[in-house]
A and B are shown apart, each in its own frame.
Chain A
Amino acid sequence: MKRSFPYLAVIGILLVILVITAATLWMSAGARNATDQAVSTVSTFYLEELAGRRSQVVSRFFESQAEQMQRAVDLMDDRVLSSQDALRQYIGNVESLYGLGLFAVVDEDNVVYTKQTTYMGGSRYEFLSGDQAGKMTITTSSVYGAGKQICQAVPIHDRTFLGKKLKTCFIEIKMEDIVSLLAFDTEDNGTHFSLYYRNGVNLTGLDFGPVGKKSNLIQEMRTYLTGDQWTVLSGQFTNEEAGEVHFMHSGNKQILYYSPIPDADWMFTVLIPENLIYDKIAGIKDQTILRSTIQILVTLLSLLTFFFLFALQQRRKSTALLEQQRTIAVRDSLTGVGNKYAYSQKEAAVNAGLQSGSASPFALVVCDLNGLKKVNDTKGHDEGDRLIRDASHLICSLYDHSPVYRIGGDEFAVFLQGADYDRREEIFEELNRKTDENNCSGGPVIAAGMADYEPGDMQLQDTFRRADKLMYERKNQLKQLKTEPVSSEL
């Protein structure tokens, strides 16, 4: 029973550790799978959000510009349209008011009127040659060294200037302004963005990762995509539909997302390496796993501490119980002195010492309480017990350095060694004196006989017999002393 408890505790702890370890591994594996799924989901969500918002920003920019142009046209009155100077001044005011780079109106012969210049626009602006009447147009053109220019035009109705109908007005927008609307922090993180025509030509000239600045996106993607993927991509570009493709480049998975810009024949494109998102999420995952691991370790440590304390407490309890049981086994429950069993143990130990010749000199006092039966019979057992306790108390108070044993109902034995042994005669006399007093006054009357160990004693019993004999002699003596005064009184 004593040994099974630690084994069970160890097995229990090992089981707990095993379960916790298994749970930790399961949780880690689960976290990894969840991360992979999250990366895919977040990538799509992130890119959709990114592209969607940027497309909206550009679209709103164009809407805002169109509203401003329309307002400017609405405010053109007869005074403005009375002369070229008045019109130029008005155009200048509109540019200042709305912060426009270039605002121009065009008549039916494609004569373009700006703040300071009047010129022929038919060959310069593609949107003037096509049938664009009645709707807003956004076109790009590359005019002889001027870079790519974006022209946003809105139609003009019911306005006549110098006898000719005005057909449209437009503003020129710098590509840098559009790029700045689209820009986000891509520094060193591998993300690329750009605008592409529907035919795959890069509109902004921005570097687009593995596609580069100059290559046609659609053509370049042939090298990265499967036939089916490429067909979907090119179809979505042609039809101005948003889409997403995944491909490998330099060992990294890349995600290309594209979204049409409303009112313009452009596709906003974002290219992002998946490991970028993975790294971001992996950081969160690692933190979560670390936190969980710490939590598990703390739990494990707490459990171990709990087990240790529990085991310690159990050990203490069992030791105390054992001690208690041992005490109960050797102590007389009524008087608190050693019982018969304790005396037999002491006897065995003394005998062993005698046999080995290692025993120190000792003496034995054998005591017998007189009158116990009479008290029990006349005053009850409680009073008898009290008398026994008083007798024990008297013996113990005198022999305070020696073990006292109750070896029978009214018999005690005191094993003398050390200081009590040295003073044995003195103490014994005191005991007899007390007994004599009690014999007269009514306290416990103890008949005692003391015998020293003698070299011929082979065992304690030999000494005991001599002391016991002397005790009986004293007992008889005390009986006589007790009887004589009574007889004289009678």
Chain B
Amino acid sequence: MKHRKLKGSLILVLGLFFLVGVFPLPASAESSAAKDPGMPVHFNRSLDGYQPAKDHYNFYFTYKTVHAWWDAVAMGMEEAQQQYAARGITISYEYMAPVTASAEDQIRRLEEAAGGSYDVIGVDVADEEIITPVLNEMAEKGIRVMTFSSSDAGPGCRRIAYVGNTHNYEDGAQLAEALCKKLGGKGKIAVLVGTHGAPCHEDRAKGVRDTVARYPEMEIVAEEYDQDSIDLARGLTLTILQQHEDLAGIVCCNMSNPVGAARAVQETGRSVVIVGMDHDREALRYLNEGVIYCLGIQDCFSIGFDTVQVAVRVADGCLPGTLYPEKTEEITTIIYQEDAQQMLELLYGEL
């Protein structure tokens, strides 16, 4: 009788082990457990308990443009790659982008990748209107497609999953709110956006517009696209500053915007409040010096790390649900001058 009970207990325990191994906790739940909620970026990530079906995977990832922001995403991917390697699983991938953002270039790359032997193709959508149909077409052909980074495909896209920023609109709104409060709810402001059609940039710009609209004494007097170019952002800002001598603030919706805007403001010696996105080193230095008021820091490392984790599941034929969510959400944290030095040290070892 005793033996039977013991045997039953052992079977139960082994069964639980089996269930945990095959059906680990959802990625979102695991992520939150591994992350320190106080930190904008989480470098101490570990793979969850999911056991991949193969010992080798080959991915193709393409993103909008060659830029330091995506290099940060790459660092998370490389970390996941190394952790898989430690488990005896080889992850090889290509992580490619044009020098200048272009939906047409992205289509060309996707078409080439579709002819290759990749387990999964991941896309940071350059232009949701143009790229979404291409992704649907690939999905129809049985190609496993996912999106990642900061820009998902358009509604109804048949891509399998998305890992990245799911709250670009809110990010834009938060930045605008911070600016409006800083300016006391009145004044003329400009909005700098990145690439035309890039969902993340467009969503943030919309969030900015909607937020500013709630302040009757605030007015958006200019809205320009810098095509993810710092030089262009600087030039556009100089023009705006020249055209609007009473400009009080600038909202920057991508990574290049705040750097270009800060350079221009510093050059002209004007007193303009700048709020912007991302972790560019120069932007963080401007934040540290007080030229930039606040920055929205995305956890690019986790985006890259989770993208590889989700890609492995997608490659194994797992669909979103129990194993991972359809959208793996990564955080954005607004940081101010007092946080700048810590961030510079954390991200760039700048002492």
B92, closest chain A residue (CB): A116
Cβ-based interface call for B41 (8 A): yes
Contact with B94, one of A117, A124, A142, A202 (Cβ below 8 angstroms): A117
Chain A residues, Cβ within 8 Å of B92: 88, 116-117
Bound Cα distance from A116 to B84, whole angstroms = 12
- Residues of B within 8 Å of A202, CB to CB, are 351
List the one stretch of B67-75, B134-142, B190-198, B235-243 in contact with chain A: B67-75
Contacts of B248 in A (CB 8 A): none
Task: State in angstroms the CA–CA spacing of A146 and B78 once bound together.
Answer: 11
**A205 and B301 within 8 A (CB):** no
CB of A75 to closest CB in B, whole Å: 22
Shortest beta-carbon distance, B187 to chain A, in Å? 34
A214 at the interface (CB under 8 A from B): yes
- Pick the contact of B74 from A119, A147, A148 — CB < 8 Å? A119
Q: Are A117 and B93 interface neighbours, CB within 8 A? A: yes
Residues A93-152 near B (CB distance < 8 A): 110-111, 116-120, 122-124, 142-148
Quote the shortest CB–CB distance from A160 to chain B (angstroms).
19
Q: Using CB atoms, name the residue of chain B closest to A216.
A: B351
Q: Which B residues are CB-close (under 8 A) to A142?
A: 281, 347-350
Whether B173 is near chain A, meaning CB under 8 Å from some CB there, is: no
Q: Chain A's nearest CB lies how many Å from the CB of B19?
A: 32
Chain A neighbourhood of B351, CB < 8 A: 201-202, 205, 213-214
Which chain A residues border B99 with CB–CB below 8 Å?
Answer: 122
Inside 8 A of A120's CB, which chain B residues have their CB? 66, 70, 95-97
Confirm or deny: B169 has a beta carbon within 8 angstroms of a beta carbon on chain A. no
Asked if A119 meets B94 with Cβ closer than 8 Å, knowing A144-B72, A145-B41, the reply is yes
Within 8 A of A (CB), among B48-73: 66-68, 70-72
Per-residue CB contact flags for chain B residues 340-351 toward chain A (1 = under 8 Å, else 0) read: 000000111111
Q: Which residue of chain B lies nearest to A146 when distances are taken between CB atoms in the complex? A: B75
- Indicate which residue in B43, B93, B96, B349 contacts A148 across the interface (CB closer than 8 Å): B349
Q: Is the CB of A117 within 8 A of B67?
A: no
- Shortest B346–chain A CB gap in Å is 7
**B348 adjacent to A144 (CB under 8 Å):** yes
Cβ–Cβ contact B67 & A143, under 8 A:
no
Contacts A116-B91, A120-B97, A122-B66 given; does A144 touch B349 at CB 8 Å: no
Closest to B349 in A: A142
B263 cross-chain contacts in A, Cβ below 8 A? none
Task: Please give the distance in Å from B61's CB to the nearest CB on chain A.
Answer: 9
Q: Assess A144 versus B279: contact at CB under 8 Å? Given A116-B90, A117-B95, A120-B97.
A: yes
Complex: how many Å from CA A248 to CA B308?
Answer: 55
Q: B262 within 8 Å of A by Cβ? A: no
A344 to chain B, nearest CB (A): 114
Do A144 and B347 form a contact, CB below 8 Å, given A117-B95, A118-B95? yes
B68, B90, B346, most chain A CB atoms within 10 A: B68
Query: Is there an interface contact between A117 and B75, defined as CB atoms closer than 8 Å?
Result: no
Q: Residue B301 contacts which of A117, A119, A124, A144 (CB distance < 8 angstroms)?
A: A144
What residue of chain A has the Cβ atom nearest to residue B91's Cβ? A116
- The answer to whether B300 touches A144 (Cβ under 8 A) is yes
With A116-B90, A117-B94 as known contacts, state yes or no: A124 contacts B71, CB within 8 Å: yes
Give A340 to B325 CA distance when docked, in angstroms.
Answer: 146
B349 partner residues in chain A, CB cutoff 8 A: 142, 147-148, 205
Q: A148–B70 Cα gap in the complex (Å)?
A: 18
Q: How far is the CB of A95 from chain B (nearest CB, A)?
A: 13
Chain A residue nearest to B116 (CB atoms) is A84
Complex Cα spacing A147 to B72, Å: 12
Q: Which residues of A contact B346 (CB under 8 A)?
A: 145
Query: Is B81 in contact with chain A by the CB < 8 A criterion?
Result: yes
Residue from A111, A116, A123 within 8 A of B71 (CB atoms) = A123
A119 to B75, CA, bound (A): 11
Say whether chain A's binding surface is mostly helix, strand, loop, or mixed. Answer: loop
Q: Type the 1/0 row for A445-467, where 1 means its CB is closer than 8 Å to any CB of B.
A: 00000000000000000000000
A110, A122, A123 pick with most chain B CB within 10 angstroms: A123
Bound Cα distance from A262 to B6, whole angstroms: 71
Q: Which residues of A contact B78 (CB under 8 A)?
A: 117
CB proximity of A303 to chain B, nearest CB, Å: 67
Q: Which residues of A contact B71 (CB under 8 A)?
A: 123-124, 143-144
Closest to B99 in A: A122
Please measure, in the bound complex, the distance between the C-alpha atom of A213 and the C-alpha atom of B68, giving whole angstroms. 27
* Interface flags, A203-221, vs B, CB<8A=1, else 0: 0010000000110000000
Question: How distant is the Cα of A205 from the Cα of B349 in the complex, in angstroms?
Answer: 9
In the complex, what distance in Å separates the CA atom of A285 from the CA atom of B347? 52
Q: How far is the CB of B325 from chain A (nearest CB, A)?
A: 25
In the assembled complex, which residues on chain A have CB atoms less than 8 Å from the CB atom of B43? 145
Tell me the nearest residue of chain A to B63, going by C-beta.
Answer: A120
A164 to chain B, nearest CB (A): 13
Residues of A within 8 A of B347 (CB): 142, 144-145
In the complex, what residues of B have CB within 8 A of residue A111's CB? 96
Residue of B whose beta carbon sits closest to that of A85: B92
How far apart are the CA atoms of A143 and B75 in the complex, in Å? 8
In the bound complex, CA of A119 to CA of B92 (Å): 11
The digit string for B306-324, where 1 denotes a CB below 8 A from any CB of A, is 0000000000000000000
Q: Which residue of B lies closest to A118 (CB)?
A: B94
Q: How far is the CA of A214 from the CA of B350 in the complex (A)?
A: 8
Closest chain A residue to B351, Cβ basis: A214
In the complex, what's the smallest C-beta–C-beta distance from B305 to chain A, in angstroms?
Answer: 11
In the bound assembly, the distance between CA atoms of A88 and B93 in angstroms comes to: 11
- Bound form: Cα–Cα A120–B99 in Å: 9
Determine which of B68, B81, B90 lies in contact with A124 in the assembled complex, contact meaning CB atoms within 8 Å. Answer: B68
Decide yes or no: A145 and B301 within 8 Å by CB, A120-B96, A213-B351 being known contacts. Answer: yes
Cα separation A123 to B96 with both chains bound (whole Å): 12
Whole-angstrom distance between the Cβ of B293 and the nearest chain A Cβ: 23
A117 to B209, CA, bound (A): 40
> Which partner residue on chain B sits nearest A116 by CB separation?
B92
**Which of B75, B91, B350, B351 gathers most chain A CB within 10 Å?**
B351
Residues of A within 8 A of B75 (CB): 143-146
Residues of B within 8 A of A146 (CB): 75
- Given the complex, which residues of B lie within 8 Å of A118, measured CB to CB? 93-96
Q: Which residues does chain B contribute within 8 Å of A88, judged by CB atoms?
A: 92
Complex: A122 Cα to B99 Cα, angstroms:
8
Q: Which residues of B contact A124 (CB under 8 A)?
A: 68, 71, 74
Q: Kindly identify, within residues 412 to 461 of chain A, every residue whose CB is under 8 Å from any CB belonging to chain B.
A: none
- Please give, as numbers and ranges, the residues of chain A lying within 8 Å of B348 by CB-CB distance: 142-144
- Which of chain A's residues have a CB closer than 8 A to the CB of B350? 142
- Report the separation of the CA atoms of residues A147 and B74 in the bound assembly, to the nearest whole angstrom: 14
Contact with A along B98-137 (1 / 0, CB 8 A): 0100000000000000000000000000000000000000
A-B contact pairs, 19 of them (CB 8 A): A116-B90, A117-B78, A117-B81, A118-B94, A120-B66, A120-B70, A120-B95, A122-B66, A123-B67, A123-B68, A124-B74, A142-B281, A143-B348, A144-B71, A144-B279, A144-B347, A147-B349, A201-B351, A213-B351
Q: Which 3 A-B pairs have the closest CB atoms?
A: A214-B351, A142-B348, A144-B72
Given A142-B347, A142-B348, 19 more pairs with CB closer than 8 A: A88-B92, A110-B66, A116-B81, A116-B93, A117-B93, A117-B94, A120-B70, A122-B66, A123-B67, A124-B68, A143-B348, A144-B279, A144-B300, A144-B347, A145-B43, A145-B72, A145-B75, A145-B301, A145-B346
